[in-house]
Amino acid sequence: MSTSATPSVLFVCVHNAGRSQMAAAFLTHLGGERVQVRSAGSAPADTVNPAVVEAMDEAGIDISAETPKVLTTEAVQSSDVVITMGCGDACPYYPGKRYLDWQLDDPAGQGVAAVRPIRDEIERRVRGLLTELGIQAGA
């Protein structure tokens, strides 16, 4: 981890339209200003998956204004923890970073009913990450 008092986490998936967007939103919502949050994709989509937006809205988190972002070397280098989500070899590896790989179903092409269990599992994992980072989860 960096010497900064605020840990930095980067969530990466291929399109940055589903899993990584949900994870970043939960970490931002639950961690507040006690953690820096980024998300990116190795081949970003044009928009966030509408079923993901709807599922997150049901959880009380509005991500309708979010847009998929391209993965950059700078984003990885400035993060303490890099969490990959099904991007395989497309996700870069840089020494000195803590890497986690969260195996999660891809919500692409799924309706909101299929996205809900993925959303709930991501929230569970984000809460666990906050505990590991020593950060008390907010509301």
Catalytic sites, residue numbers: 13, 87, 91
Residue 134: how many CA atoms within 13 Å on its side-chain side?
A: 4
Residue 2 Rama label (left phi>0; alpha psi -120 to 50; beta): beta
Rounded to whole angstroms, the maximal C-alpha distance in the chain is 42
Tokens in use for 134? 């020593």
